Amino acid sequence: MTNANTVKVATVAIDPECSINSAPADGVDFRHVSGGTPERHLLEIMGSGGLFFDYDEDGWVDVFLVDGGSLVDRKVDVIVTYGTPGTLAAMRATKTIPIIMAYSGDALSAGLVTSLARPGGNVTGSTYFLSELMAKRLELLKAAMPQITKAAVLVNPGNPLFDTTLKALESAAKSLNIDLQQIRVAGLTEFEAAFLAIAKERADAIVIQEDAVFVSNTKAIVDLASKQRLPLAGNDELAEAGGLIGYGADFLAMCRRAAVFVSAILKGGKPASIPVEQAAKFTFVINVKTAKTLGLTIPLGLLNAADKVIE
């Protein structure tokens, strides 16, 4: 630790909707340390800056810190990550600095930890089971549209949990008597071709994988689906934007828990022995306005089970 009052907490693959603000009760005094100097030079910006873009074209937003240098070289006390790719990147960079997952799709399947009860390495934090979440979206879609027999699923082959997700979806589809059509999409430029393929196969609806490629292009997906009058099942943001079904983990709640993990580490705890927490809260949204546009009548029981109904 840098000193008794100030610690350095680095973040990787920042989620703009997440915050790990720490209350004084946590015993942690977070400080942002700028790399600027008192001098003022022409054509130079003093202070911190950041740029968010897909540097390695893998569909995940990367963060570039101006004059940031290597987080490891800067001897940070804790690294906080958002999502599986960010956690994997941090793990490749260090085996000693504690890494806190604000959230990850499936820490076990992705190899981020060896056990939820005893992570065993320098990583701990919060996780949710992406494969189960995806299967649940398909189940809710079937409950909303009992007549469907064929569904397409948009997946990113570059996602670390690609295989695990597909296996869970295929199993769920079989039990629901649904023919599953796998559509691989690695970026925005592939969306139009993907939807043309879905139309050609005459799918009844589409399930969207929890992946940065799709989350960051929600509007484009909703617009393309609307043109073909295809119901969508994805996260709650997708339902808010015009999809039919929204079901997902409460990421904000997990991000808030990240501050608790950071506090535990800075008080002497070791990631190897701090249990990984599983997401406890999930949100279920139904967009009745979209259902009416598509000529669908949602069963009353399903409406009553929703956390939010968009009229």
SS3 138: helix
Select the highest-mean-pLDDT range: 10-14, 161-165, 174-178, 186-190. 174-178
- Flag whether 4 is in a domain: no
Q: What is the pLDDT of residues 123-157, one digit of tens each?
A: 999 999 888 999 999 999 999 999 999 999 999 99
145 plus 216 within the same structural domain: yes
CB atoms < 10 A from the CB of 291, how many?
A: 20
Q: What is the mean pLDDT of residues 8-21?
A: 58
pLDDT-wise least confident of 92-96, 152-156, 290-294, 304-308? 92-96
289 plus 140 within the same structural domain: yes
Q: What is the pLDDT of residues 175-185, one digit of tens each?
A: 999 999 999 99
26 plus 98 within the same structural domain: yes
Strand partners, 60: none
d(CA 26, CA 73): 27
Strand stretches in the chain, DSSP E: 9-12, 50-53, 62-65, 78-82, 99-103, 123-127, 150-155, 179-184, 205-208, 232-234, 245-249, 277-278, 282-287, 308-310
109 plus 173 within the same structural domain: no
Q: What is the mean pLDDT of residues 194-219?
A: 93
134 plus 159 within the same structural domain: yes
The pLDDT, as a whole number, for residue 162 is 85
244 plus 255 within the same structural domain: no
Return the closest-CA partner of residue 221 out of 251, 241, 205, 236: 241
The pLDDT, as a whole number, for residue 176 is 96
The pLDDT, as a whole number, for residue 279 is 93
Q: Does residue 195 have a pLDDT over 90?
A: yes
- The answer for residues whose C-beta is within 8 angstroms of residue 309's C-beta and 6 or more apart is 285, 286, 288, 303
CA atoms within a 13 Å half-sphere pointing along the CA-CB vector of 257: 20
The pLDDT, as a whole number, for residue 32 is 41
81 plus 71 within the same structural domain: yes
Q: What range does the domain containing 215 cover?
A: 130-249+283-310
- Flag whether 289 is in a domain: yes
106 plus 166 within the same structural domain: no
Q: What is the pLDDT of residues 38-91, one digit of tens each?
A: 444 444 444 444 445 555 556 665 555 444 446 666 677 888 888 888 888 889
- For residue 276, give the CATH number of its domain: 3.40.50.2300
The pLDDT, as a whole number, for residue 130 is 87
The pLDDT, as a whole number, for residue 52 is 52
Q: How many separate domains does the chain show?
A: 2
The pLDDT, as a whole number, for residue 83 is 86
The whole-angstrom distance between residue 136's C-alpha and the CA centroid of its chain comes to 16
191 plus 144 within the same structural domain: yes
Q: What is the mean pLDDT of residues 210-224?
A: 92
- Flag whether 199 is in a domain: yes
The pLDDT, as a whole number, for residue 197 is 94
pLDDT cut 90: percent of the chain above it: 56
- Flag whether 164 is in a domain: yes
- Give the H or E element holding residue 197: helix 191-201
136 plus 58 within the same structural domain: no
Instruction: Tell me the pTM.
Output: 0.77
In this structure, are residues 53 and 61 in contact, taking their beta carbons and an 8 Å threshold?
yes
* Mean pLDDT for the chain overall: 83
- Flag whether 256 is in a domain: yes
Return the closest-CA partner of residue 164 out of 133, 203, 195: 133
15 plus 114 within the same structural domain: yes
Return the closest-CA partner of residue 135 out of 184, 207, 221: 207
78 plus 226 within the same structural domain: no
